[in-house]
């Protein structure tokens, strides 16, 4: 008899319908909204809908009839300050039920956190906290997927990566009238870059990535990075047009231009149709094999340029300054195949010493200028720099990326490990893992909100970093939303239930353009131009993962609420 009763209970449980519920509240509305959905609602309209709020048990009890069958639902209520004097408002809305509760205070108010300790959302991601934790001791990095160790030696000298917009920051700080006189901002930026450039084996940290020298990586990962070689065409071009040799002498010499004040670094026609590309050397700036008065230029290891016939060249600006300037060259000047960080100018006779300091760790300066490839704004795109995905040698999952030019080897000797794929301690996600809360969607959302605030743009096109093809359309609806979603069974008599914790999210519309036709792509481009949408570039793997997050979150809303103007309603954690 007991076995029969148990079997009956199991069968009754198997036939109970599962309902999807989603709690949502927005910062500007003192309202907590509940969506309840099930396919059965599309076949029959509910009747006798009633809602009973049990705040002492953190429960909302719903009862109604559906196709003459009585239905009762027990939905957990988030721990927020609900106004008990305001009765719940409930209605049937086609394919879902909607219940509204009035709030006394917004969910992010400090009083709410004090009233419900431990029920608040997790702390937001903070670059300062990451930097403090990583600088507190020796830290190794691990693959977040398989827990394999990525570094063969602990990280040291972890510093925050400077902003790419140094000039704008300097101009805003000192004012245009100050910086326009005597190039104050340019000199400030040059000294700032030099200060970082003198730090050897420095690890850079930004909001999305940790940028380390490839020598820090385990041998099996380094071997993957170092197996690639330059293309045959480029090697032939380099051997035919360049006679560059490197000396081990690190002393700086003053060198003067032989009977000419023209720039040494420039482009030269090859044959009748080709341009000679400058080269980003591994240990110094690029040198163009331009002939002056019959002499052939060469460089020492510090990057100074000399002529075989005894002439020499005097530099007026640091290579770092020229690299930043060339990063911002106009399209009319951008005929060369590479961004040329080389410049041949001097600064009041101090170029020898400044040049030596700038060349001491030229790769680091280039790393700062290239930034991270997790998200690249259109203004920060670098021509002919290819970003290569870095994979774990144990599980082949994505770890990050690195920049390359003419080969698959890192052009600046460094790799970018994305925080969403990296752990700083074992076990992965444990209390001492600095990156335990860094997910791809949180990293994306934080940068999206930052850009939206700076550019006052709520429309975004996400493009493939390699092909430049539009992949996602995004319209930001609300930057401060809180949500929780789960399931409940009808007619459930068990008194236990899950605890509903509202999570900070952003509410948005999106459209997947990855498989769009040429006609649809033209429509997307017109939309982008009409609304001046922000252009963001990401690698294909990260775009696919982001699209999966958007598609999964879309199911949290009822079908009738999940689309607007041809785009899907969704959310992402922040």
Contact 570, 508 (CB under 8 A): yes
Report the distance separating Cα 439 and Cα 444, nearest Å: 9
Share of the chain above pLDDT 90, in %: 43
What integer best gives the mean pLDDT of the chain?
75
List pLDDT tens digits, range 492-514.
877 667 889 999 999 999 999 99
Residue 122's pLDDT is: 78
**Burial, 527: exposed, middle or buried (Cβ in 10 Å; 0-12, 13-18, 19+)?**
middle
Structure tokens given for 4: 């029969």
Q: pLDDT at residue 1 above 50?
A: no
**Most confident stretch, 103-107, 366-370, 545-549:** 545-549
Residue 461's pLDDT is: 97
Residue 181's pLDDT is: 53
Q: pLDDT at residue 179 above 60?
A: no
Report the distance separating Cα 240 and Cα 232, nearest Å: 12
Task: Calculate ∠ Cα 431-432-437, nearest 5°.
Answer: 65
Instruction: Please measure the distance between the N-terminal and C-terminal CA atoms of the chain and give it in whole angstroms.
Output: 53
Mean pLDDT within 286-290:
39
Residue 131's pLDDT is: 92
Low-confidence winner among 213-227, 289-303, 354-368, 550-564 (lowest mean pLDDT): 289-303
Non-local (6+) Cβ contacts of 401 within 8 A are: 373, 387, 388, 389, 390, 415, 416, 418, 539
Q: pLDDT at residue 357 above 50?
A: no
Residue 115's pLDDT is: 82
Q: pLDDT at residue 92 above 50?
A: yes
Task: Calculate ∠ Cα 185-187-188, nearest 5°.
Answer: 60
Residue 119's pLDDT is: 67
Confidence of residue 422 (pLDDT cuts 50, 70, 90): very high
Q: pLDDT at residue 262 above 50?
A: no
Contact 390, 402 (CB under 8 A): yes
Q: pLDDT at residue 199 above 90?
A: no
Residue 151's pLDDT is: 94
Share of the chain above pLDDT 70, in %: 64
Query: Per DSSP, what are the bridge partners of residue 306?
Result: 298, 312
More confident residue, 548 or 309: 548
Pairing of the two strands 158-160 and 203-205 = parallel
Residue 412's pLDDT is: 84
Confidence of residue 382 (pLDDT cuts 50, 70, 90): confident
Report the distance separating Cα 511 and Cα 564, nearest Å: 10
Q: pLDDT at residue 293 above 80?
A: no
Residue 459's pLDDT is: 94
Residue 19's pLDDT is: 93
Measured in whole angstroms, the distance separating CA 66 from the mean position of its chain's CA atoms is 47
Helices (H), 242-379: 319-327, 351-359, 362-370
Q: pLDDT at residue 440 above 50?
A: yes
- CA-closest candidate to residue 490, choices 31, 147, 13: 13
Cβ atoms < 10 Å from Cβ of 550? 21
Q: 394: which DSSP letter?
A: T
More confident residue, 98 or 408: 98
Confidence of residue 188 (pLDDT cuts 50, 70, 90): low
Confidence of residue 234 (pLDDT cuts 50, 70, 90): very low
Report the distance separating Cα 435 and Cα 209, nearest Å: 10
**Most confident stretch, 34-38, 266-270, 321-325:** 34-38
Mean pLDDT within 483-489:
94
E strand or H helix that includes residue 127? helix 127-134
Q: pLDDT at residue 327 above 60?
A: no
Contact 423, 433 (CB under 8 A): yes
- CA-closest candidate to residue 54, choices 82, 34, 30: 82
Cβ atoms < 10 Å from Cβ of 540? 15
Cβ atoms < 10 Å from Cβ of 56? 6
Mean pLDDT within 16-41:
91
Structure tokens given for 244: 């560059």
Q: What share of the chain is helix, strand, coil (3-state, %, to 5)?
A: 30, 30, 45
Report the distance separating Cα 304 and Cα 251, nearest Å: 10
Confidence of residue 559 (pLDDT cuts 50, 70, 90): confident
Mean pLDDT within 9-13:
43
Q: pLDDT at residue 523 above 90?
A: yes
Q: pLDDT at residue 25 above 80?
A: yes
More confident residue, 470 or 258: 470
Query: Per DSSP, what are the bridge partners of residue 102?
Result: 31
Low-confidence winner among 115-129, 351-365, 416-430, 433-447 (lowest mean pLDDT): 351-365
Q: pLDDT at residue 198 above 50?
A: yes
Residue 470's pLDDT is: 97
Residue 336's pLDDT is: 37
Q: pLDDT at residue 415 above 90?
A: yes
Confidence of residue 161 (pLDDT cuts 50, 70, 90): confident
Mean pLDDT within 352-381:
66
**Burial, 208: exposed, middle or buried (Cβ in 10 Å; 0-12, 13-18, 19+)?**
buried
Which CA distances in Å does 363 have to 124, 367, 503? 32, 6, 41
Structure tokens given for 32: 């907590």
DSSP string, 187-239: HHHHHHHHHHHT-TTPEEE-SSEEEEEGGGB-HHHHHHHHT----HHHHHHHH
Residue 394's pLDDT is: 93
Residue 265's pLDDT is: 40
Count the alpha carbons within 13 Å of 162 in the hemisphere toward its beta carbon.
Answer: 23
SS3 319: helix
Report the distance separating Cα 138 and Cα 130, nearest Å: 14
Report the distance separating Cα 189 and Cα 174, nearest Å: 12
Report the distance separating Cα 116 and Cα 81, nearest Å: 9
Contact 197, 320 (CB under 8 A): yes
Residue 190's pLDDT is: 64
């Amino acid at each position: 008899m007991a076995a029969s009763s148990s079997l009956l209970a199991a069968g009754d449980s198997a036939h109970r319908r599962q309902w999807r519920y989603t709690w949502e509240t927005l910062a500007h509305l003192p309202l907590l909204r509940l969506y309840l959905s099930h396919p059965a609602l599309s076949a029959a309209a509910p009747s006798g809908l009633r809602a009973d709020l049990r705040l002492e048990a953190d429960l909302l009890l719903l009862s109604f009839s559906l196709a003459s069958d009585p239905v009762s639902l027990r939905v957990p209520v988030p721990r927020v300050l609900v106004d008990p004097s305001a009765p719940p408002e409930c209605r049937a809305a086609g394919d879902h039920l909607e219940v509204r509760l009035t709030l006394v205070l917004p969910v992010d108010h400090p009083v709410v956190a004090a009233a419900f300790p431990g029920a608040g959302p997790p702390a937001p991601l903070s670059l300062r906290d990451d930097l403090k934790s990583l600088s507190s001791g020796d830290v190794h990095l691990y693959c977040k997927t398989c827990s394999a160790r990525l570094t063969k030696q602990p990280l040291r000298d972890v510093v925050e990566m400077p902003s790419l917009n140094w000039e704008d920051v300097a101009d805003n700080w000192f004012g245009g009238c100050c910086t326009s006189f005597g190039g104050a901002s340019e000199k400030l930026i040059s000294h700032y870059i030099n200060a970082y450039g003198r730090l050897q084996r420095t690890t850079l940290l930004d909001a999305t990535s940790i940028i380390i020298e490839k020598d820090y990586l385990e041998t099996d990962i380094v071997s993957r990075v170092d197996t690639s070689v330059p293309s045959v065409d480029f090697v032939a071009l380099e051997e035919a047009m360049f006679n560059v040799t490197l000396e081990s002498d690190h002393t700086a010499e003053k060198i003067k231009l032989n009977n000419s004040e023209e720039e040494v670094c420039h482009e030269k026609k090859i044959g009748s149709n080709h341009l000679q590309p400058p080269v980003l050397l591994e240990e110094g700036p690029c040198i163009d094999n331009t002939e002056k008065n019959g002499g052939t230029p060469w460089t020492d290891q510090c990057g100074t340029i000399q002529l075989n016939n005894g002439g020499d060249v005097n530099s007026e600006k640091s290579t770092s300054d020229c690299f930043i300037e060339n990063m911002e060259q106009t399209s009319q000047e951008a005929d060369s195949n590479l961004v040329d960080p080389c410049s041949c100018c001097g600064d009041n006779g101090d170029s020898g010493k400044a040049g030596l300091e700038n060349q001491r760790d030229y790769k680091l300066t280039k790393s700062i200028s290239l930034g991270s490839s997790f998200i690249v704004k259109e203004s920060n795109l670098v021509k002919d720099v290819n970003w290569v995905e870095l994979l774990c040698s144990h599980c082949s999952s994505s770890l990050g990326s690195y920049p390359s030019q003419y080969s698959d080897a890192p052009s600046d000797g460094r790799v970018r490990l994305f925080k969403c794929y990296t752990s700083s301690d074992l076990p992965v996600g444990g209390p001492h893992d600095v990156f335990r809360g860094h997910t791809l969607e949180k990293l994306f959302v934080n940068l999206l909100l930052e850009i939206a605030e700076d550019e006052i743009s709520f429309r975004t096109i996400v493009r493939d970093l390699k092909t430049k093809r539009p992949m996602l359309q995004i319209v930001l609806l609300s930057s401060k939303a809180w949500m929780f979603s789960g399931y409940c069974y009808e007619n459930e008599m068990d008194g236990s239930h899950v605890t509903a914790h509202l999570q900070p999210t952003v509410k948005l519309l999106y459209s997947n353009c990855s498989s769009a036709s040429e006609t649809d792509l033209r429509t997307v481009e017109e939309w982008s131009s009409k609304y001046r949408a922000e252009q963001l570039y990401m690698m294909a793997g990260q775009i696919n993962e982001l699209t999966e997050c958007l598609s999964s979150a879309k199911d949290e809303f009822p079908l009738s609420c999940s689309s607007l103007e041809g785009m899907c309603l969704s959310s992402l954690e922040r």
